[in-house]
Amino acid sequence: MILERTEQRPADWRWLIAFIVLAYAMLIAGAGCFQGGGGTLLQALGVPALEAPLMDLRGVAVWCDAWAQGSDPAVAQTWIILPGGVKHPNFLMNYSPLVLGLGKLGLTETTASFWGIGLALLYLGSLGVLCGRCSLRQALLWAFLICSPASVLVIERGNLDELIFALLILALVLRKQPLLAPLVILAASCLKFFPILSLIAPWKASGEDHPEQIKRGVVITALLFLGFLVLIRSRLLSIGGSLGGQYQSAFGFCLPADLLIHHRILMDGAFSKWLRILLRIIACSGILGGILAGVFFWRESEGVRYSERARHAFLLTAPVMLALFVQGPQMDYKWIFFLPMVPLIVEMLSSDETIEALSAKIWIGGMGAYSYWTLFSDEGCLRNALLKQSLMWIVIFLSALLLGRIWNQKSA
């Protein structure tokens, strides 16, 4: 008798990720039982926590409350009421006016804490979908990244990037739907403009499956987004305001110049202006050169093929991160948009091509080191701050190179 072997699926270690994340959350919650204990512990773990949690979400909630009372938070000063009744000045609204609709869904200053928990669960659930079935080593890598300071920072601030992230993962799940996936990206783009670049992923995928339907969906979505911009054109100057003066817990092409100005190495004048221009030229040239090198000069091996899902996820956020870097200073929680690129990087780690595997190792090492930098190093030191920024420049240039590498590559 010949016994047929049944192929067993490898064990799914996502439960280990959930266990580690839950243990981390319980540790912070336990410390939070003491006055200021949660924030102090987070700072000790490298997270630049503020005096009260969910400050970004509280700010959005105050905007919604002001709008409901007939005030325009884009021009009128609003105040966040911190625990203990302390009033904290809020930023003028520099988001899309669509976020004010969250007030209709129940977001108020009173309910901000519940919304913060909901957004955190949505973000973590999206990560569970993103990582998929994983081995023990992959689970440990994912837990390492999810519990990193930059990832925890987006939860601590309660930033709407958690919602944007979840919508992009939903677009990944719906990638076979010609119209639904672009519409999900449109919804994210109407909250914050940068996700519109994620349309590159379905457009590129149109070369493989039902191309006409997908391209039609992408074009319709792009036109709807342009129409939305026309409708809110009077607010465009105040939307997406720059993080002027932000030199800590941030990244971007201009951060080296901002750091030199903050430490009084340079004066904020004509020379620093030209330095920023030079840095932007270097950043744009490096990114464009990396993409072109990946497309035209990195010879493709016949046996190298990556999964369609991992490739699509990479294309969803790689263009976004490259554009954010050259736009200007970005808070460190934008780092989470590197995470959809991780599945493809993990596949590249086992590549037979030496250059490809080495690039993936440097990318994952640099990306992880950047996030954990504040755990081991004080950003107040100019040398350490510049070293941190150099890590991000390396990761950005490698992202451009790998984007070019997979551009003409067909999926497995």
Q: Are 20 and 143 in contact (CB under 8 A)?
A: yes
According to the model, what pLDDT value does residue 211 have?
72
- Comparing 302 with 409, the larger pLDDT belongs to 409
Q: Is 23 a domain residue? A: no
The 10s digit of each residue's pLDDT in 39-68 is 888 989 999 998 889 999 999 999 999 999
| Confidence bin at 303 (pLDDT 50/70/90) | low
Q: Is 72 a domain residue? A: no
According to the model, what pLDDT value does residue 142 have?
97
According to the model, what pLDDT value does residue 2 have?
43
Q: How far apart are CA 337 and CA 392, in angstroms?
A: 13
Long-range contacts for 387-396 (Cβ within 8 Å, ≥24 apart)? 389/251, 389/255, 389/256, 389/259, 391/366, 392/251, 392/325, 392/366, 393/283, 393/286, 394/362, 394/366, 395/338, 395/363, 395/366, 395/367, 395/370, 396/283, 396/286, 396/287, 396/321, 396/322, 396/325
Cα–Cα distances in angstroms (integers) from residue 109 to residues 103, 106, 379, in the given order: 10, 10, 32
- Count how many domains the chain has: 1
The 10s digit of each residue's pLDDT in 110-156 is 999 999 999 999 999 999 999 999 999 999 999 999 999 999 999 99
pTM strictly above 0.85: yes
According to the model, what pLDDT value does residue 378 have?
75
Q: Which two tokens stand for residue 376?
A: 């081991």
Q: Are 96 and 191 in contact (CB under 8 A)?
A: yes
Evaluate if residue 293 carries a pLDDT over 80: yes
| Confidence bin at 207 (pLDDT 50/70/90) | low
Q: Is 147 a domain residue? A: no
Across all residues in the chain, what is the average pLDDT? Answer: 90
Q: Which two tokens stand for residue 307?
A: 């999964």
Q: Which two tokens stand for residue 8?
A: 């067993």
| Confidence bin at 84 (pLDDT 50/70/90) | confident
Q: Is 216 a domain residue? A: yes
| Confidence bin at 240 (pLDDT 50/70/90) | low
**Cα atoms in the Cβ-side hemisphere of radius 13 Å centred on 18:** 12
Q: Are 309 and 343 in contact (CB under 8 A)?
A: yes
The Cα angle at residue 333 between residues 332 and 336, in degrees rounded to 5? 115
Evaluate if residue 339 carries a pLDDT over 60: yes
Torsion of CA 280, 285, 288, 294, to 10 degrees: -130
| Confidence bin at 94 (pLDDT 50/70/90) | confident
Q: Are 353 and 299 in contact (CB under 8 A)?
A: no
| Confidence bin at 3 (pLDDT 50/70/90) | very low
According to the model, what pLDDT value does residue 351 have?
86
Ranking 190-199, 234-243, 311-320 by mean pLDDT, the lowest is: 234-243
How large is the average pLDDT for residues 366-388?
91
| Confidence bin at 85 (pLDDT 50/70/90) | confident
Q: Are 218 and 198 in contact (CB under 8 A)?
A: no
Q: Is 319 a domain residue? A: yes
Q: How far apart are CA 151 and CA 48, in angstroms?
A: 11
Q: How far apart are CA 242 and CA 363, in angstroms?
A: 27
The domain in which residue 218 lies consists of 168-231+246-407
Q: Is 51 a domain residue? A: no
Q: Which residues are bridge partners to 71 per DSSP?
A: none
Q: Which two tokens stand for residue 402?
A: 């790998």
Evaluate if residue 34 carries a pLDDT over 80: no
Q: Which residues are bridge partners to 331 per DSSP?
A: 250
- For β-strands 87-89 and 330-331, DSSP reports them as unpaired
Q: Is 193 a domain residue? A: yes
